[in-house]
Homo-oligomer: A and B are copies of this chain.
Amino acid sequence: MERIDAYWRAANYLAVGQIYLLDNPLLTTPLTPEHIKPRLLGHWGTTPGLNFCFAHLNRIIRERDQDLIYIAGPGHGGPGAVAHAWLEGTYSERYPDISQDAAGMRRLFRQFSFPGGIPSHVAPETPGSIHEGGELGYSLAHAYGAAFDNPGLVVACVIGDGEAETGPLAASWHSNKLLDPTRDGAVLPILHLNGYKIANPTVLARIPTQTLVSLMEGYGYRPHLVGPDHQEMADTLDTVFDQITDFQQGRSDRLPMIILRTPKGWTGPGVVDGLPVEGTWRAHQVPLAKVRENPEHLAMLEEWMRSYRPEELFDDDGRPVASILETVPPGNRRMSANPHTNGGELLEPLRLPDFRDHAVEVKAPATQSTEPTKALGRLLRDVITANPRTFRLMGPDETASNRLSAVFEVTDRAWNAQLEPTDENLAPGGRVMEVLSEHLCQGWLEGYLLTGRHGLFNCYEAFIHIIDAMFNQHAKWLESSQKIPWRRPIASLTYLLSSHVWRQDHNGFSHQDPGFLDVVVNKKASVVRVYLPPDANTLLSVGDHCLRSRDYINVIVAGKQPVLDLFTMDEAIAHCTRGLGILPWASSDQGNDPDVVLACAGDVPTLETLAAAALLHEHLPDLRVRVINVVDLMRLQPPSEHPHGLPDAEYDTLFTTDKPVIFNFHGYPSLIHRLTYRRHGHANLHVRGYKEEGTTTTPFDMAMLNDIDRFHLVMDVIDRTPGLGATQAHLRQRMTDARLRARAHTREHGEDAPDIREWTWPDRFSS
């Protein structure tokens, strides 16, 4: 216990040093203002509690040879996490210039939250972390994600009482209903009540203890109360690790959890300038704020740091003394070095069945229909079969709705709660994870990927905005990780967005929002990829590509309703490899310069574009129309902006520099302008897309409401192609009339658009 206390004091000392000191790390001389950083930044309040947990967990690891990783929900406790990695030697292994001696300690202190140094949070730079904890709410979902399919692993997850107020965290407690005691690892939640957030008490610290215990029992855990006492913590940890074994061996149906109550800013200054600090919200950041200017504060800092008795903790060279080093677990058992926290080290490529085996046979383009996601579901089924322990499919109760049901031929939904006779496809260990929480799906998948596994998240398009902020955080994690040599690449996070804006027959306006793409494209080109495959074979090709990729966030938008098959598998592969291309069979420019370009991205916009091309061919057979479909949206950007960017010369050859381009887009039109504004022909580009018009109605009515329909596209061509406006007023009027009739028909009969398969195509006309 003494050694644990010494380790804890050492970690606390190193945390305070990081926040305050530029120099004199071992306090070998009395502190002077020159030793103090000019800007005091960091979060002390949560750190000593985090250090307390870490110190005690190390004993468990050593005594039980336990495979254990540690998630610090309060990421603001960054100085603590860094301190542990340094004490365990991992920091110096990852960053040799931060050696485990006085010189390294000085650099360790100096770099913290300093320009050009390391962030104040737990971050990708921090060895042993898969969780930043800057934006709060995701620690417990990350912990469960890490535990799935890791039967020997325990994930200790410290949850701050601030974080516990967030929605995602409040929902995460129920993750235990999807945990398989035998095939998954365990999660040990440690709810750390230090009582305060930035400036407020926390809710869970201010309800009666019995009420809090009821809450945890209601969430399905066995709660254990622990105060700020070494022996109590040690005894409780012994108990809970036994209870974890009981749970995993079927002797208990509940995981234990710990409610740890400590003062905020524990062991820090008690009273500063006459105001209580330790044990209040004033300890949240920097308890002594004027150390450089105020000699009294300086003296208090020195007293505070010396209270840890650094002379007992570090030798004259600044190395931790032997009794501290002996508390550190060996090698990969160190939480700061556990390979699960650098998932790329453990990552094995997916065994991928040949996606071409699932090809839809296409004898001629646009003559038959397939449900694209249904085809992808068959591929995913075989992926699951071939990778029974390393791939999971997440979805907020939408996997069947998104028509991926083929997966249920080989697996179930993970379910560890009560079963009823009428249930189908529910079982512990199922590969499909479904609760009605996009936050949990995202959080679990992040935790699963970050620990070296694979997965896919399927979601209704509009509601993926629920995890915009989580996407941002994961993208930033990847952006940072790519610059850290020792962070090994992990599997990409791939979204399949279906039930999209144009197919809201069942739902309506509130389910129509294609704007996630705009959020995605704000992130660095090195991590984001966006695909809009227009049919089943292109979706299969894109899906295979995404499942092979590393360190990206892939967004695939695809339909679940039947859409026209446009490409044979060979054509689909070629089209997806190019990312965009001309559809010769729908074009009438015969390889010559076109009069007008019809571009499209997304399944419904592509359908309407094809119908417009057919109408143009029928009514204006001499007009040279080029139809271009875009699958890989990033191809539209210049190569200077995105690695997928099409060279300007190729872009100009395809889209021309001077002809009108009518671009029919799946999402908000501005995104296409944004991607192409540097292109030569941009002034001639006219984009149609979703403009916030909609209700519960047919796709064709939706198209008309937003002017992306075939008739309106023909009108756009007439309006924008030189010469046509004057000569084709009659045709324009016919289109207007046709549109009104179609609208009235839909509204009278509730029926969708006429089937374009009956229409005349240029190549069929010429053959």
Q: Is the Cβ of A167 less than 8 Å from the Cβ of B165?
A: no
- Contact for A701 among B115, B476, B668, CB less than 8 A: B115
Q: What is the bound-complex CA distance between A410 and B420, given in angstroms?
A: 56
Q: Is the Cβ of B177 less than 8 Å from the Cβ of A171?
A: no
**A452-477 Cβ-contact flags toward B at 8 Å (1 or 0):** 00000000001101101100110010
Bin chain A's interface residue count: 35 or more
CB nearest to A749 among chain B residues: B38
The yes or no answer to A211 lying at the interface (CB within 8 A) is yes
Binds B, one of A199-207, A552-560, A568-576, A713-721: A199-207
Q: Is the Cβ of B203 less than 8 Å from the Cβ of A697?
A: no
The yes or no answer to A522 lying at the interface (CB within 8 A) is yes
The yes or no answer to A114 lying at the interface (CB within 8 A) is yes
Q: Is the Cβ of B505 less than 8 Å from the Cβ of A119?
A: no
Q: Is the Cβ of B217 less than 8 Å from the Cβ of A505?
A: no
Q: What is the bound-complex CA distance between A434 and B199, given in angstroms?
A: 10
Copy count, this protein chain: 2
Q: Is the Cβ of A165 less than 8 Å from the Cβ of B216?
A: no
Contact residues in B for A163 (Cβ distance below 8 Å): 436
Q: Is the Cβ of A177 less than 8 Å from the Cβ of B750?
A: no
> Contacts A166-B167, A400-B198, A513-B472: A136 and B436 contacting too (C-beta < 8 A)?
yes
CB distance from A23 to the nearest CB of B (A): 13
Interface residues of A in 687-718 (CB under 8 A from B): 692, 695-698, 701
> Contacts A171-B166, A397-B200: A134 and B511 contacting too (C-beta < 8 A)?
yes
Interface residues of A in 468-514 (CB under 8 A from B): 468-469, 472-473, 476, 479-480, 505-511, 513
> Contacts A476-B509, A510-B132, A510-B476: A120 and B436 contacting too (C-beta < 8 A)?
no
The yes or no answer to A549 lying at the interface (CB within 8 A) is no
CB distance from A706 to the nearest CB of B (A): 12
Contact residues in B for A279 (Cβ distance below 8 Å): 422
**A380-420 Cβ-contact flags toward B at 8 Å (1 or 0):** 00000000000000000111110000000000010101101
Contact residues in B for A440 (Cβ distance below 8 Å): 167
The yes or no answer to A746 lying at the interface (CB within 8 A) is yes
Interface residues of A in 138-197 (CB under 8 A from B): 162-163, 165-174, 177, 197
Q: Is the Cβ of A399 less than 8 Å from the Cβ of B199?
A: yes
Contact residues in B for A177 (Cβ distance below 8 Å): 203, 206-207
Interface residues of A in 22-80 (CB under 8 A from B): 37-39, 41-42
Contact residues in B for A174 (Cβ distance below 8 Å): 165, 170, 203
Interface residues of A in 415-463 (CB under 8 A from B): 415, 417-418, 420, 422-423, 426, 434-437, 439-440, 462-463
> Contacts A119-B508, A171-B167, A468-B519: A397 and B38 contacting too (C-beta < 8 A)?
no
**A611-634 Cβ-contact flags toward B at 8 Å (1 or 0):** 000000000000000000000000
The yes or no answer to A269 lying at the interface (CB within 8 A) is no
Q: What is the bound-complex CA distance between A177 and B358, given in angstroms?
A: 55
Of A137, A219, A509, most buried by chain B (CB within 10 Å of CB) is: A509
Q: Is the Cβ of A436 less than 8 Å from the Cβ of B41?
A: no
Contact residues in B for A135 (Cβ distance below 8 Å): 462-463, 466, 510-511
User: Can you name 11 extra interface pairs (CB under 8 A) apart from A113-B696, A285-B506?
Assistant: A39-B505, A113-B506, A118-B696, A119-B510, A134-B507, A135-B511, A167-B172, A215-B218, A468-B469, A523-B692, A674-B674
What 10 A-B pairs come out closest when comparing CB atoms? A215-B218, A167-B167, A134-B510, A170-B170, A119-B508, A214-B218, A116-B747, A465-B469, A167-B171, A206-B417
